[in-house]
Amino acid sequence: MAEQFQEFKTAVEMKMARPRDSAFIATVEKTTSEGYHALIEPGEFPTKEHTLTELKKQVELACGGMSKRVQELQTQTGVKDVYTQYWIEQILVHAAEMHQREPDVSEATIKSKLIRWTCDNKAKLYSLFLTLKGFDPVADTPIELLHTILLGAVKYIWHILHTPWSTEKKKTYSIRLQATSIEGLSIHAICTNYIMQYAGSLVGRQFKTIIKTAVFHLHNLITEDQFTMWKVNNLKIAVANVLNAVAQIDPSKIITKIKYHLLTHLDFDVIELGPLIAMATEICESFNAMFCYCSIYSYHLAPSWDIAIQFRQQETVKHQLTRGRWMSKSTRDWQGAGTGVCHFIEKHLILQRLVGWTPEKQMKHGTVLYPLMGRRNLVLYYVPKCDTFCQN
């Protein structure tokens, strides 16, 4: 991920021919307002085609046994794929072995043999994410909230805040936090002693508690610059405010922590894919036990394959139980589960929870709903005789 900043560094280094002078100029540029601001600006989004082209160049260089040139190209372009990198390293090793085994054979001959092999096996060399039609891994993969926000920016800011606190300030914050009412916050019970004792090694659940209550409890405990990190409204303005506040408190972290830079891509992801909370993978942490069981009870020849098959079967059953439809291979007609299966799941709440079924809540006589903000002119009431809802 650090290669994302390489484009800026490369542009600066081109100003000087000598590497020593180039490095010096790059350091000086970062200390200016324009140079430092460029570090937290989103760059141009690379396309899938551009990434594939650069990876093919790296593979071709690897066929010639030029490992150093491969590294230089990765640094210059900022393109490096973990999946293809495995094959690049294997090709480099194989090229070196061929040179040792056949010293009389020219480098061009060895390179042509390896290139021929890569052409015959190109489906293996590149990730399916880059070859899948209709999918762009750059534009279609939004920022992950758990690791980028809670375990990223919030974690860094929490470290900046609590590290200089005295014992008295820690005690004050603990009292305020423990007195918090968790009603309406969708968080677990607050364990203040645990949070303060293990302040340097918290998990997402504790960081969620901290970020939702910080604006109420940090008064008189932090500086004014630190407090501005919690007062945000609009998403783009919020990101700019957070980065500006962090730059004033600890500017070195802007360069060393990639998750700060990822925040600048939030508005693009929201415009393209909608609210990111709907794509939060934090809920998938509950599947960790399933991954473990699928791996333990597999044949251990291909655990990832066994896990994928198991989850595919579970999703198929879920689709069928929740009245989903599928096309029959024999009749080519759309069909669904029978009425007996549908009625069975309607009577078993545990099974409904397992497949993510949200049961319909039945309104009771005399129920009054308080309309949302902006819809206060709507009056909803229940009419027992006609068994309907009326709005006025």
Of 254, 265, 252, whose CA–CA distance to 43 is shortest?
265
For 345-384, the pLDDT digits (tens) are: 888 888 887 777 776 666 677 666 665 555 445 444 444 4
CA-to-CA distance for 76 and 10, rounded, in angstroms?
A: 7
Dig out the tokens for 321 from the structure: 């139980």
pLDDT at 25: 41
Binned at pLDDT 50, 70 and 90, residue 305 comes out as: confident
For 119-169, the pLDDT digits (tens) are: 988 888 998 888 888 888 877 877 777 778 888 888 888 888 888 889 898
Binned at pLDDT 50, 70 and 90, residue 216 comes out as: confident
Could you give the angle at the alpha carbon of 158 between the alpha carbons of 29 and 149, nearest 5°?
75
pLDDT at 228: 62
pLDDT at 88: 93
Q: 335 - beta bridge partners?
A: 326
Torsion over CA: 38, 39, 42, 46 (sign): positive
Residue 33: pLDDT over 60: yes
CA-to-CA distance for 371 and 325, rounded, in angstroms?
A: 35
pLDDT at 367: 65
Dig out the tokens for 281 from the structure: 């993978």
Question: Three-state SS string across the chain, please?
Answer: CHHHHHHHHHHHHCCCCCHHHHHHHHHHHHHCHHHHHHHCCCCCCCCHHHHHHHHHHHHHHHHCCCHHHHHHHHHHHCCCCHHHHHHHHHHHHHHHHHHHHCCCCCHHHHHHHHHHHHHHCHHHHCCHHHHCCCCCCCCCCCCCHHHHHHHHHHHHHHHHHHCCCCHHHHHHHHHHHHCCCCCCCCCCCCCHHHHHHCCCCCCHHHHHHHHHHHHHHCCCCCCHHHHHHHCCCCHHHHHHHHHHHHHHHCCHHHHHCHHHHHHHHHHHHHHHHCCHHHHCHHHHHHHHHHHHHHHHCCCCCCHHHHHHHHHHHHHHHHHHHCCCEEECCCCCCEEECCHHHHHHHHCCHHHHHHCCCCCCCCCCCCCCCCCCCCCCCCCEEEECCCCEEEEC
Q: 327 - beta bridge partners?
A: 334
The answer to whether 226 touches 160, Cβ cutoff 8 Å, is yes
Of 149, 367, 165, 192, whose CA–CA distance to 279 is shortest?
149
